Amino acid sequence: MKQILISGVFGLFLSLIGTPILIKLLARKGYGQFIRDDGPRGHHSKRGTPTMGGIAFILATLIAYGATKLIVGERPTVSGLLVLFLFTGMGLVGFLDDYIKIVKQRSLGLRAKAKMAGQLIVGIAFAILALNFPDQRGATPASTKLSFTQDFGWSIGPVIFVIWALFMILAMSNGVNLTDGLDGLATGASVMVFAAYTVIGVWQYGQSCANALTAGPGCYEVRDPLDLAVVAAALMGACFGFLWWNTSPAKIFMGDTGSLALGGALAGLAICSRTEMLMAILGGLFVLITLSVVIQVGSFRLTGKRVFRMAPLQHHFELKGWSEVLVVVRFWIIQGMCMAVGLGLFYAGFVAAK
């Protein structure tokens, strides 16, 4: 348990002091955010705010995790390293997108095919690797069975699993990306989900099938639950530190560098902790905002009419007259309720299995 505290504190401290350093560096180089003209008018004042802030919490998380392992004298686990690989790999794709937007002054950044190719390469590599590296009990970081609070049903096979994992990775990465439209919104929501996965990892460790004292009905067949909690705590702390500078009025934006990385980390934690479908509830705000875009696009193509004044959903409420801070706080409350329901269902699943 000491590892979780150390990684969380290190992540918070490194991000808190590292983000202002990054702000000065990006501002000096003129790496400011491009603001679309068709967005809410209040956002035009944000033009030029340093972006690519995801670099700060990516580095803070990686250093926090590595430092924790050095301090406690333990080796990193395969599950922990795989989640960090997915987190960093998706962040690299986002960084290339942000860099092209800024340097080449091209509002859409990477071409759609190039961006998708980068996400697919990272996602496929993660999915294939996650089905390997069995421990002494034969447990691998991921399972070819679907999962809610635990694995259930028949194996879907490695090929379909890779497709399923890619769907999750792309859905969560783009969900966080769509949510990252208001100061602090995506960062604060991510903190809550990472907090939930810290709790889940600790609980799974205490009720692991690898422990002879707790093995039996309801135990968790997860390869490295405690280390997943360490990773989640490092991510939570790093995002908390970043939120200090990202909250309204934001001194820096995470950019695609941060949003794609966070989405990758969320998907990786869900897959490795065998809570894949539960993620749709734990990260309910990301799902809700993504659905608003799907509904808007689908309605316009089918009927020529828009359901919302603007999508994603947060901008609809801005155009209705809500202040940015009001939208963010209320959406945080929604995410908090989603997290509470998700944790409640996770515990209910354990009780039912007993």
Question: What Cα–Cα distance (Å) separates residue 241 from each residue in 89, 218, 284, 305?
Answer: 22, 36, 23, 41
At 156, list the tokens. 């879907």
For 48-62, the pLDDT digits (tens) are 688 899 999 999 999
At 236, list the tokens. 């939570």
**pLDDT the model gives residue 44:** 47
Confidence class of residue 39 from pLDDT cuts 50, 70 and 90?
Answer: low
Summary mean pLDDT of the chain: 91
Exposed e or buried b per residue across 185-198, where buried means at least 16 C-beta atoms within 10 angstroms of its C-beta: bbbbbbbbbbbbbb
Is the model's pLDDT at 289 over the cut of 80?
yes
d(CA 220, CA 348): 14
At 173, list the tokens. 């990465």
For 7-33, the pLDDT digits (tens) are 999 999 999 999 999 999 988 877 766
Q: What is the mean pLDDT of residues 249-255?
A: 92
- Give the distance between the most distant pair of CA atoms in the chain: 61
**pLDDT the model gives residue 270:** 98
Q: Is the Cβ–Cβ distance between 261 and 94 less than 8 Å?
A: yes
Is the model's pLDDT at 35 over the cut of 60?
no
For 141-176, the pLDDT digits (tens) are 999 999 999 999 889 999 999 999 999 999 999 999
Identity of residue 79? S
d(CA 171, CA 264): 9
- CB neighbourhood size of 113 (10 A): 8
- Binding site, by residue number, is 177, 256
**pLDDT the model gives residue 328:** 96
For the whole model, what pTM was predicted?
A: 0.93
pLDDT top residue among 268 and 50? 268
**pLDDT the model gives residue 240:** 96
- Binding site for Mg(2+), by residue number, is 177, 256
